[in-house]
Each structure stands twice: as C-alpha cells, then as structure tokens.
Structure 1
Amino acid sequence: MRRVFAGAVAVLLALTGCAGDVDQADPAGQTAPVTRQAHLGDSFAAGTGLRPLVADSSFLCQRADGNYGRLVSRGRGTELTDVSCAGATTEDLTAAQYEGVGPQLAALDADTDLVTLTLGGNDAGVFATAVGECTRLGRAEPAGAPCARAQGQTLLTALDTRTRPALTRGLRAIVERAPSARVLVVGYPWLLPPTDGCFAQVPIAAGDVPYLHRLQRRLNAVVAEAAAATGATYVDVAGPSAAHTACAADDQRWIAPLRSGPGSLHPTELGQRAMADAVLAALD
C-alpha cells in the first residue's frame, strides 16, 4: 500500500511507474479464455513483498506474480488485466497514482466479466498511522496501550466518515464502467490475534493489540458495507485467517511479521493462496 502498510515501500521506491499488464491464462495458444478479469487494488491485492514481480512491475507497484488475482485467473482460465499497485487508495481508481501508472478504472470496459480487488485500507491513512504509530509507541511502552491512548476514536471515525463513502463511490464507478462484471471485494486478513500479540514479531504494545484488532474489524465492516451498497460481493478472509496471523508459526503465517523492506504485515505466499481460494469458493 502507499499511505498504509507501504510506508516502507514509499521509502525504498525510486523507480518509475508500473503500467498494468495482461496475463493470458492459456499460454499454449489453445481456446481463448471466455472470461475477462480485471484485478485492481492496493498492496494486499498486488502481493507486495512476494517474488518474483511481474515483468512490468517495479518497486513502485510491487505487483507479484503470485498475487491472489493472478492465482484466481489461473484457476478459472481468465484473460487477466492486473493493475493492482502498492499504495493505492480509492482515489487511484480515477486518477494516476504515479507517473506512468494510470487510473485503475482504465482496465475496465463493458466486456469485463470479473473484477477482483482489495481496497480501502490506505484511505485516510488509517493503517499507515495505526501500524506506524503503534509500533513506534509500543517499543517505548510495551506493556501499556500508548497508541490507543494517543489516537482515541480518530481512526475509527475516519473509517466511517471518509473510507466508507469513498469506497462506495469507487465501487459504484467500477459497476458503471463494467456493468456486466461480477465484482468481488476481498477483505483484509487479521494481522494479529484479538488480545495476545507477539512483540518479537510485531512490536505492538500489549494493550494496543485489541485496539488494532478493533480497528481492523471496523475496516472490514466498512468494506463489506460498501460492497453491499453497490451490489458487489464481499469475500471474507478475516474469519479463515484467525489462526494464521503474524504471530503464527512460520509455516502457518498468512501475514508476514514486521521487517525492513516491502512486505511487512502483508500476506505471505500462503496468505495470497488463501485469499485466492476464498475468491474461487465465492465464484463457485
């Protein structure tokens, strides 16, 4: 994400833009796919932190070959246009995100059959503020709740007053541009358990772990509400991810622990696979 979990990405990025790319699901040149899929969204959709990146991606968009949109495309045999990009907000549906990275809605037209996306976490800087401030304050007061004390209701209010209406408008614009498409909006997997964190992996103060969980619960609720208001399908991945947070064992994590560079607190390869499985189940 740019303005959300992609704080590390923004620091490291110095390359130029990453235009969307088309991935033919049938490289053998057999019968052409009958479904056209567009994959939109932020770093959780792009697969930030995974390797390899797709040929036209860079450290700006961090679009990985193993993101869930591409896995869905391979599973369903679709012709894919992937414009997901780290740092995207709902504004980037209709405006250029970076030089050379145009509005994501440009990937859609009347012939689009399927749209997959994850979006909303970067709006209003909610997660960027929460994760950045909570880890900074947590290192100084690991047994307390300094982030909840400092932020109060501000971030929760921003989700209701800014993120929900912005995402609702964005999803309506998607429906208008691709009126025949089925739109699947994938939520965000849990970053941490509801109460017991893992300070060595994610330095969030003990009292702030419930606060971050509450914030993420509200974000997913806002995404679900926006989907319902626009006729899109909300795909829940929080429920299935409860035992697979950044605190889980290495071979069970769907979320990477905090580390330097892109990919901190983003879906692992297992996480992207789980998100793809949830979408494929919703399509069946």
Structure 2
Amino acid sequence: MSMRALFRGLTAAAAAAGAVALGLTAPAAQAATPLPYVALGDSYSAGSGILPLDPAASLLCARSTADYPHVIADRIGARLTDVTCGGAETKDFASAQYPGVAPQLDALSDSTGLVTLTIGGNDSDTFIDAILACGSAGVVTAGQGAPCKALYGDSFDHTIDTTTYPAVRSALQQVRAKAPGARVAVLGYPWILPAAATPGCFAKMPIAAGDVPYLRDLQTHLNAAVRRAASDTGATFVDMAAASEGHDACAPASTRWIEPVLFGTNFVPVHPNATGERQMAERTLSVLGED
C-alpha cells in the first residue's frame, strides 16, 4: 500500500470516529431494528417441563428459556416477547389465565412483525382428557383391547368440531386484529404416539394397544382443525406430522421429541423435550423461509 493510500485510509477512519463521537453516523450505518416477535400459546409453546425456567414468567406457566420461541428468536435475531404459558386455552388470549398473568393478546401491537403459537390442545379438556382417560382405561385392561374407544367413541372428535375449531379460529382472528401487520405461524402438535401399525409402549405410555390408533386419529383430527382455522384466518400452518414421525414418546430416549408418562426426563410428561422444541423451531423457520 502506498503512503498516499494509507493516509487516505487513516483520514477516513478518523473522520468516521469523529462522526460517531458527534452522533452523526448515517442511517445506513446504524444497526437494523430487530424484528418484534411475540410468542403466544400453551405448554407446547412454553416448553413446559424443560429446565431452566424463564425467570420472567410465573412459575404456574412453567415456561422454559429453551422453548421453541427462544430458539427462533436467537436464530433470526428477533426481539422476543414470550407470553406462552403451560395449560393455556384460547380463552386465555383475551383474559388472565392466572392472577398476575396478563391476557396473552396484550403483548401484541401494530408494530408486531411475527407471531407464533400452539393452541387448542387444552380447549374443553378434549385432548388432554382423552390421553388421561385412555391411560386409565388401559391400566384397567392391562393394555389389552381398545377400552377408551369403546367408552368414548367419537365424543372427543365431536368436541373438536363443535368447540375447539371455532375457538381456535376466533383466537387467530383476535391475533390478526391486534397485530394486523404480523406474519402469524400456528404449529400443529408433534406426534405423541407411534403409527397405528405399532402397539405402543405400555410400560412408558399406559395406553391399550387398540387405543393407540384411536388417539393417533384424534390427534390428526385436532391438527386438521388447527390447520383449517389457520387457513380461514390467513395464518401459516406449520405441519409437524411428517417431521415428528418416529420421534414420539415411545421412541428411544436418544431420538424422541416427546417425553412419556413414565421414565421420561421432563418434570411435565407427554410434552416436548429440549430436542423437540428445537425441532419445532427448525420446522417453523423452514416453513417461514428463514432456515
């Protein structure tokens, strides 16, 4: 480098330093404003059962700093407002879920650029009730037959159609109204039980062999209702079915994304582990074109 070129470089550097000192940097040189990102939803969004817990959240929410919203925010450099809470239903978007826990919609504004959520699994206790009911029935029959299907038939499916679907649709409409400029991504629930061709894993998930396909069909129905609500409201549906196949609660500890009722690692069973939350983030980023 010539002395003249070196001098020009030093002069330019000095001028830039002076401009910084005087607050005169050009707008193009300023750091880009991080994307305002709000995470809503239930325990599958909150990573409930995974440590460490988020110190900013109520202990009742069991929100983890390893939940998929934190993974997404870290990957894309977004400014995250995480109001996810374990046990949330669609009604908790507009009203307080617990004392001191604000309605989740309060976190949204006209400036919100991205919203993610999982919701619907707790509404009317349908899906959670089905797992508990089938577990109890399976224990009674020592894992034989399909006692849960015999007891409940299509009642859970009926509730999804008449109660869960319209509730999720309404919740997404409210999200759109509060954050009209945001991209909204609603995730389906990853598989909890294996494909119907397998008998399940009664020692870890006390579901009778005949009720494994029954619950798989119920989860398929729930995810379809969420997909339909997303389509109705212009939201992006993140389908987890293909990605999570083979990573259910019956899979080996090294490959599963969902922890079983017994012999799992999470303090909240039948929920995603840290790997599951990361994979939910990866799938969401892929669908949004941010991978």
Smaller-chain TM-score bracket: 0.7 to 0.9
Query: Do the aligned partners of 2:38 and 2:108 also contact (CA within 8 Å) in 1?
Result: yes
Residue 32 of structure 1, CA deviation: 5.9
CA distance in 2, matches of 1:280, 1:154: 35
Q: Residue in 1 aligned with 2:22?
A: none
Asked whether 1:118 is paired with 2:123, we answer no
Q: Residue in 2 aligned with 1:61?
A: 61
Asked whether 1:242 is paired with 2:249, we answer no
Query: Do the aligned partners of 2:43 and 2:88 also contact (CA within 8 Å) in 1?
Result: yes
Q: Residue in 2 aligned with 1:214?
A: 217
Q: Residue in 1 aligned with 2:254?
A: 251
Residue 127 of structure 1, CA deviation: 1.5
Asked whether 1:185 is paired with 2:186, we answer yes
Q: List gaps (5 residues or longer) in structure 1.
A: 1-29
Query: Do the aligned partners of 1:42 and 1:85 also contact (CA within 8 Å) in 2?
Result: yes
Residue 263 of structure 1, CA deviation: 2.0
3-state DSSP of counterpart to 2:59: coil
Length, aligned pairs only: 255
CA distance in 2, matches of 1:33, 1:65: 23
Asked whether 1:174 is paired with 2:175, we answer yes
CA distance in 1, matches of 2:60, 2:33: 30
Q: Residue in 2 aligned with 1:139?
A: 139
Query: Do the aligned partners of 1:95 and 1:102 also contact (CA within 8 Å) in 2?
Result: yes
Cα deviation, 1:18-58, whole Å, max 9, x if unaligned, reads xxxxxxxxxxxx94643100000000000011000011224
Higher Cα Rg, which structure: 2
Higher RCO (CA 8 Å, separation ≥ 6 residues)? 1
3-state DSSP of counterpart to 1:34: coil
Q: Residue in 1 aligned with 2:152?
A: 151
3-state DSSP of counterpart to 2:257: coil
Asked whether 1:94 is paired with 2:94, we answer yes
Q: List gaps (5 residues or longer) in structure 2.
A: 1-29
CA distance in 2, matches of 1:131, 1:262: 17
CA distance in 1, matches of 2:59, 2:254: 26
CA distance in 2, matches of 1:263, 1:74: 25
Q: Residue in 2 aligned with 1:106?
A: 106
Q: Residue in 2 aligned with 1:46?
A: 46
Query: Do the aligned partners of 2:58 and 2:101 also contact (CA within 8 Å) in 1?
Result: no
Asked whether 1:264 is paired with 2:264, we answer no
3-state DSSP of counterpart to 1:206: coil
Q: Residue in 2 aligned with 1:274?
A: 279
Deviates more, 1:220-229 or 1:135-144: 135-144
Cα deviation, 1:161-213, whole Å, max 9, x if unaligned, reads 00000110000000010000000001100001122201111010011001000
> 2:167 is matched by which residue type in structure 1?
A
CA distance in 2, matches of 1:38, 1:116: 7
Query: Do the aligned partners of 1:33 and 1:77 also contact (CA within 8 Å) in 2?
Result: no
Cα deviation, 1:199-253, whole Å, max 9, x if unaligned, reads 1110100110010000000000000000000000000112110110111111100
CA distance in 1, matches of 2:137, 2:32: 53
- Structure having the larger proportion of residues in helix: 2
CA distance in 2, matches of 1:213, 1:183: 26
CA distance in 2, matches of 1:199, 1:208: 11
Asked whether 1:127 is paired with 2:130, we answer no
3-state DSSP of counterpart to 1:60: helix
Query: Do the aligned partners of 2:39 and 2:82 also contact (CA within 8 Å) in 1?
Result: yes
Q: Residue in 1 aligned with 2:26?
A: none
Cα deviation, 1:90-148, whole Å, max 9, x if unaligned, reads 00000000000111000000000000100000011112211111111101111111111
CA distance in 1, matches of 2:251, 2:32: 41
Identity of aligned residues (%): 47
Q: Residue in 2 aligned with 1:230?
A: 233
Calculate the aligned-residue CA RMSD, in Å.
1.3
> 2:174 is matched by which residue type in structure 1?
A
TM-score after normalising by structure 2? 0.85
TM-score after normalising by structure 1? 0.87
CA distance in 1, matches of 2:288, 2:73: 12
